[in-house]
Amino acid sequence: MRLSSIINLGKECLILAGLFILGICVFYGFYCFIQKYVFKKSIQIKKKKFIINILLIGYIIVVLLVTLAGRARVIQYGISLELFSSYHYAWNNFSIVEWRNIILNILMFVPLGFLLPLVHESFKTWWKTYLAGLGLTVFIELSQLIFHLGVFEVDDIMNNAVGCMIGFGIYALFALIYGCFQKKEVKILPTLLKQIPTLLTVCLFTGIFMTYKYQEYGNLRDYPSSHINMNDIHVETQISLSDKKEKAYTYQSQSYTQEQCLEKAKSFF
């Protein structure tokens, strides 16, 4: 899938999620109105808590729409239990599209790890947030397998889980900074430990791209058997070259506009 297609799909999902959230807000507002003016009960709404909950609901809707509703049924589906298979494929072919998909799979779950601790106190415990992220990605992969929407891949589960860990690390960092401003007692070491997934991910991708950049022959499947230093080699020739200018033929392939391509395709098929 091209990046433009992903952006367009994301826009559609955001619009649908926005409409769904708007419906929830309208329903909740109507519920509060009934409770206050019919049953004479007062309901206190914490604005920050309400906004964070809405953001989490909208985020989950977008993720489910992108990973499930935005996919068509495929013929090839199954289970891939080979760990790092997507990394091996991307490395051997150095496919920008494959690396982009891997990175997007990681980034997609970063908001989950950041929002969950803000929604409920229990998710401020790191393993509960990690477990929730793992549960969501397993649910998505199983749904893709059951409804023939793709392949159940261990790599996708790992990438999503890492994204959730990174998101929780970002939350812990912001919580530390906020605690310092509020002059509360903060624990620096646990916060630093929660940054390990982020540091490992950054180091991994930095190492991958730097290694590829400085390889002499690029990223080939087979490496040369030997290297020869050619710095001291001098080549001389007795052939005299002429400075006389001569004509050379160049060829230009015909190009078509999108409309012309469509007309050609219609006439051909």
Task: Give the tens place of pLDDT for each residue, 45-70.
Answer: 677 888 888 889 889 988 888 888 76
Q: Whole-angstrom Cα distance, residue 88 to residue 226?
A: 25
90-148 tens-digit pLDDT: 888 777 888 888 999 999 999 999 999 999 999 999 999 999 999 999 999 999 888 88
Q: Residue 169, exposed/middle/buried by CB under 10 A (0-12, 13-18, 19+)?
A: buried
Q: Answer yes or no: do 136 and 185 share one domain.
A: yes
Q: Residue 116, exposed/middle/buried by CB under 10 A (0-12, 13-18, 19+)?
A: buried
Q: Answer yes or no: do 88 and 161 share one domain.
A: yes
Q: Answer yes or no: do 15 and 87 share one domain.
A: no
pLDDT of residue 202: 95
- Is residue 6 predicted with pLDDT exceeding 60? no
In a domain, residue 31? The reply is yes
Q: Answer yes or no: do 56 and 174 share one domain.
A: no
- Is residue 1 predicted with pLDDT exceeding 50? no
Q: Answer yes or no: do 175 and 210 share one domain.
A: yes
In a domain, residue 112? The reply is yes
Q: Answer yes or no: do 13 and 61 share one domain.
A: yes
Q: Answer yes or no: do 52 and 91 share one domain.
A: no
Q: What is the pTM of this model?
A: 0.73
Q: Answer yes or no: do 180 and 209 share one domain.
A: yes
Q: Answer yes or no: do 45 and 152 share one domain.
A: no
In a domain, residue 141? The reply is yes
In a domain, residue 30? The reply is yes
- Is residue 263 predicted with pLDDT exceeding 60? yes
pLDDT of residue 10: 61
In a domain, residue 266? The reply is no
Task: Give CA angle at 176 (132, 174), nearest 5°.
Answer: 65
Q: Answer yes or no: do 105 and 4 share one domain.
A: no
In a domain, residue 267? The reply is no
In a domain, residue 127? The reply is yes
69-99 tens-digit pLDDT: 766 666 566 788 888 988 988 888 777 888 8
Tell which of 39, 70, 101 closes a domain: 70
How many distinct structural domains can be found in the chain? Answer: 2
Q: Answer yes or no: do 84 and 213 share one domain.
A: yes
Q: Whole-angstrom Cα distance, residue 68 to residue 123?
A: 26
Secondary structure class of 231 (helix, strand, coil): coil
Q: What is the dihedral of CA 219, 223, 224, 225, to 10 degrees?
A: 170
More confident residue, 65 or 225: 65
In a domain, residue 189? The reply is yes
The boundaries of the domain holding residue 92 are 75-219
Q: Answer yes or no: do 142 and 173 share one domain.
A: yes
Mean pLDDT of the chain: 83
